Amino acid sequence: MILDRFALDGKVALVTGTSRGLGQGAALALAEAGADVALLDRSAPEETADRVAALGRRVHVVRRDLTTATAADLESAVQEVADTLGAVDVLVNNAGTIRRAPAAEHPASDWDDVLAVNLDAVFHLSQAAGRRMLERGSGRIVNVASMLSFQGGILVPGYAASKHAVVGLTKALANEWAGRGVNVNAVAPGYMATDNTAPIRADSARERSISERIPAGRWGLPDDLAGAFVFLASDASAYVHGAVLPVDGGWLVR
């Protein structure tokens, strides 16, 4: 039955940036589909862990700060999950940060921090989990891109550059790993009502201009991405490689 192909029973998923927002939504969606979940965060995502456990799934918290984490730190994080819950079958690279400043005055430290979280950590975690997936001949990696993987944005040069790069990395890994049983894809959320967009939503003129352009007529919520995460993490997407799936209320087609 087709619905059986969406099930994640017996799988272990590692999700980054899970204390709230899209990462929390991804963790809960995968748990609802049957997966046990490891939550990688710089602080303890207690609410998310409790909600995963309430679904009857095993849950494990991995503490890492992706701003400063080295490749070795992230290799050890993947090994910790494998030792605790079993092999990492699904990796969701969700954690992200954004810094706003005009490009001409954009602090180098902001650029470095954004690239460390949004790109370096994505590569190092994909590499660490990917090695193990390649040895088994199976696995799913889902990266979180953005509308700014397609557009330049305003006042966010580091974020736009990193999210363009995430799409390039997704395609590069898919080219190498698709024939070896590892699917690498990305979701590209539209304008979502999360902490990252709070400054935009607080600007009434900007919020109105964005809302008016979204064909669906509203900003997205974490739950709007649940189906995309489960699809790309499951056997239902077995022949999907290197894809970037917009979940944007129609923003890109306007």
80 occurs within a structural domain: yes
Six-digit token pair at 243?
């894809």
Kindly report the CATH number assigned to the domain that includes residue 228: 3.40.50.720
Torsion sign (Cα): 180, 83, 115, 19? positive
pLDDT at 198: 83
Predicted pLDDT at 170: 99
pLDDT recorded at residue 37: 98
The answer as to whether 89 is a domain residue is yes
DSSP letter (8 states) at residue 192: B
- CA–CA separation, 44 and 57 (whole Å): 18
Average pLDDT of the chain to the nearest whole number: 97
Number of domains in the chain: 1
How far apart are alpha carbons 56 and 150 in whole angstroms? 39
For 182-226, how does the pLDDT look when each residue is reduced to its tens digit (9 = 90+)?
Answer: 999 999 999 999 887 888 888 888 899 899 999 999 999 999 999
Query: Is residue 106, in this structure, part of any structural domain at all?
Result: yes
- The domain in which residue 153 lies consists of 2-242
The pLDDT assigned to 199 comes to 85
The answer to whether position 251 is within a domain reads no
Cα(8)–Cα(117) distance, integer angstroms? 27
CB of 96 closer than 8 Å to CB of 156: no
pLDDT of residue 240 exceeding 80, the answer is: yes
Q: Using a cut of 0.85, tell me whether the model's pTM lies above it.
A: yes
250 occurs within a structural domain: no
- What's 103's DSSP letter? G
Q: Are 55 and 110 in contact (CB under 8 A)?
A: no
pLDDT of residue 196: 77
Judge whether 252 lies within some domain.
no
In a domain, 29, yes or no: yes
Return the structure tokens found at 190.
Answer: 């539209």
- Model confidence at 53, in pLDDT bands (50, 70, 90)? very high
Q: Helix or strand or coil: residue 239? A: coil
Distance between alpha carbon 53 and the CA centroid of its chain, in Å? 21
Q: Helix or strand or coil: residue 182?
A: strand
- With helix as H, strand as E and coil as C, how does 22-36 read? HHHHHHHHHHHCCCE
The reported pLDDT for the residue numbered 200 is 85
Q: Is residue 206 part of a domain?
A: yes
Residue 250, φ and ψ in degrees, nearest 5: 95, 5
The pLDDT value given to residue 203? 86
Q: pLDDT tens across 90-140, in order?
A: 999 999 999 999 999 999 999 999 999 999 999 999 999 999 999 999 999
Residue 159 falls in the annotated catalytic set = yes
Q: Single out the catalytic residue among 159, 191, 231, 251.
A: 159
Token pair in block for residue 99: 């810094």
